[in-house]
Amino acid sequence: MWLGVLVGGCWTASRLAGSWDAVTLALRVGMLGAIACAAGLAGSLEDRAGLVLSLSHPTTPRALVIGRWFAAWTGAVLAVLVVAALDLWLGEAPGPSVPALAAGVAGASAAAACALALVWVGGTPLALVFFLFLALFGGSPPENLVNLASPGPIRVAVAAGLELLPSMWRYRMIAAADLGASVHACAWTGIGLITASGLLRRAGARDP
């Protein structure tokens, strides 16, 4: 349900704002949708307890995490495709933009993996912080926040997060075939999955 609300909200906002291009829309729906899906799949205490219980079966933490990541990523990708189909159906775009779809898919991959690691640390509230961080600041390059006479510690911290973490401003360059942005998305996908797997393994060791 929340994914549908996000898709409708982003699409409506893009029409009202008039300044969102296909890449911006695909990234917002893909990355925010991935976080929402990850939180829905593993955000509550019951969800995480169920994952720990699953370790009693012949499986591995890595397999469980990859399964949840794939489910969250798939939901986000479907949302990106729905938005592209809406634009095509309503005549807002001549057809699906392959570079925009690629950016949205890559951004969703990194966001889903990071969100899974975050929910293991702080549950749904920490995923919500990540969601709001991207929704409010994710589209702005870090230099926009620090190129001020007195940026302040909060702005500097936000800019550092934008520079290091998965963000829309960086991944929109994937649509322009930027190799560095693509490597960044792949790296954060790996970092998120490895971190989430390690946290799940540690939780399983505490509750054998």
104-128 pLDDT, tens digit each: 999 999 999 999 999 888 888 999 9
Closest CA to 62 of 196, 192, 178, 177: 196
What's the rounded Cα separation, in Å, for the pair 170 and 164? Answer: 10
What's the rounded Cα separation, in Å, for the pair 188 and 24? Answer: 20
Q: The dihedral of CA 90, 94, 97, 100: what is its sign?
A: negative
Residue 12's pLDDT is 53
Closest CA to 42 of 205, 189, 200: 200
H-assigned helices in 18-60? 22-42, 45-54
Which residue would you say has higher pLDDT here, 27 or 41? 27
Residue 123's pLDDT is 82
43-70 pLDDT, tens digit each: 666 665 666 666 666 678 888 889 889 9
Instruction: Work out the pLDDT band at 15, boundaries 50, 70, 90.
Output: low
143-200 pLDDT, tens digit each: 888 776 566 788 888 889 999 999 999 999 999 999 999 999 999 999 999 999 888 8
Instruction: Give all strands (DSSP E) within the chain, no chain letters.
Output: none
What's the rounded Cα separation, in Å, for the pair 29 and 23? Answer: 10
Who contacts 118 (Cβ-Cβ below 8 Å, separation ≥6)? 126, 127, 129, 130
- Residue 3: CB atoms within 10 A of its CB come to 20
Tokens of 131: 């969601």
Tokens of 191: 């970092």
What's the rounded Cα separation, in Å, for the pair 138 and 31? Answer: 10
What's the rounded Cα separation, in Å, for the pair 59 and 196? Answer: 15
Q: What are phi and psi of 133, to 5 degrees?
A: -60, -50
Model pTM score = 0.85
Residue 206's pLDDT is 55
Who contacts 88 (Cβ-Cβ below 8 Å, separation ≥6)? 95, 96
Which residue would you say has higher pLDDT here, 5 or 21? 21
Above 80 in pLDDT, residue 77? yes
Closest CA to 184 of 161, 166, 208, 203: 166
For the CA atoms of 163, 168, 174, 178, the dihedral, rounded to the nearest 10 degrees, stands at -20
- The domain limits of the chain are 2-206
Instruction: Work out the pLDDT band at 10, boundaries 50, 70, 90.
Output: low
Residue 124's pLDDT is 86
